[in-house]
Amino acid sequence: MGIDQKPPAGQKALIFEQIELAKEKVQDSQVWKSIFRPGSPFRKGYRDTSRDRALAMMNNLLYHLHPVKLKRHGLKLTYTYCLGGLSFFLFVILTITGIYLMFFYRPAAEVTAQLAYADMKDLSAAIVFGQLVRNMHRWAAHLMVLSVFLHMARVFYHGAYKPPREFNWVVGVNLLQITLLLSFTGYLLPWDQLAIWAVTVGTNMMGYTPVFGRQLKFILVGGLEVGPATLIRWYVLHVLALPFVAVLLMAVHFWRIRKDGGISGPL
Ligand code: HEM
């Protein structure tokens, strides 16, 4: 039979029957059943009932982010403008580009060897995709501050901070603070004049915090004035401590959206 020739009707039915048999065999295997849990549309015996639809939502990691039942308007782009989703997307971009930068950047600065500054220069001029990835990291950071702020404004204007979402609003406020802190700690890392003096001004301002201002400044600066100790402290905060807290808070934030009944209703 040539490529352009169609199989006769009987042969076609036989091919379909064999495909069905093979599909059943795969679906009956333990490997398949261990991955696709009861209620999954890919599992044998799935029926389009409310129970199976609810199970499909609950048993899939990605669908699980949504409540079992969604309000129709919650799916409208013009209700949320997906600003929260956009903030998360930018966070993912920042993580990926940040890991790339970590391969080339050393957070060290001494009088004799300003490694951080030299590495930053190399990233801009000598390293494959260095300039591109560094700029993507910078732009995504600026955009994330903007998108988180706009997301907060959207939530406020929809009154979505009211019960039952007041706890998630507080989680959000903490996420905003972490976003700003990530931005600020990243600012020191190029170790150029702009960074050093901006952080000197910033930490001096922190020194005026009531009651424990001096202690706070001492911990963040790692001494009495901005220097190599500050750089390593802010580096660890920037690449480890703050992202860790951000991921934890985001997990709680997303889980609460689901548990609070999905996106809030129109005013
Ligand atoms: C890293 C920062 C943040 C991320 C990644 C994030 C992510 C999200 C996502 C994906 C949603 C679902 C709806 C949407 O996309 O708009 C959402 C909803 C929500 N967010 Fe955020 N968010 C962040 C910061 C904030 C901030 C700063 C606040 C408020 C201070 C906040 C409060 C809320 C509330 C109350 C909801 C529920 C909104 C509703 O039901 O209409 N979030 N967030």
Ligand 1 atom showing the smallest separation from residue 173 Cα: 30
User: Ligand 1 in contact with 173 (CB < 6 A)?
Assistant: yes
User: Ligand 1 in contact with 85 (CB < 6 A)?
Assistant: yes
User: Ligand 1 in contact with 105 (CB < 6 A)?
Assistant: no
| pLDDT at residue 62, as a whole number | 80
| pLDDT at residue 110, as a whole number | 82
Residue that the structure tokens 């013009």 belong to: 78
Over residues 209-232, the pLDDT tens digits come to 999 999 999 999 999 999 999 999
**Predicted structure pTM score:** 0.87
User: Ligand 1 in contact with 169 (CB < 6 A)?
Assistant: yes
How far apart are alpha carbons 134 and 158 in whole angstroms?
36
User: Ligand 1 in contact with 158 (CB < 6 A)?
Assistant: yes
| pLDDT at residue 122, as a whole number | 96
How is residue 72 annotated by DSSP?
A: G
Residue-wise DSSP of 150-216 = HHHHHHHHTTTTSTTSHHHHHHHHHHHHHHHHHHHHHHHTT-SHHHHHHHHHHHHHHTTSTTTHHHH
Ligand 1 atom showing the smallest separation from residue 178 Cα: 1
From 155, 181, 242, the mutation candidate for ligand 1 (largest count of ligand atoms within 8 A of CB) is: 155
| pLDDT at residue 60, as a whole number | 82
Domains of the chain: 77-259 (1.20.810.10)
Among 103, 97, 169, residue whose Cα is nearest residue 137? 97
User: Ligand 1 in contact with 257 (CB < 6 A)?
Assistant: yes
User: Ligand 1 in contact with 87 (CB < 6 A)?
Assistant: yes
Ligand 1 atom showing the smallest separation from residue 80 Cα: 16
Distances (CA, A) of 192 to 120, 246, 265: 9, 27, 48
Distance 122 CA to ligand 1 centre (A): 37
Which residues of the chain have a pLDDT value below 50? none
User: Ligand 1 in contact with 168 (CB < 6 A)?
Assistant: yes
The residue nearest atom 43 of ligand 1, judged by CA position, is 84
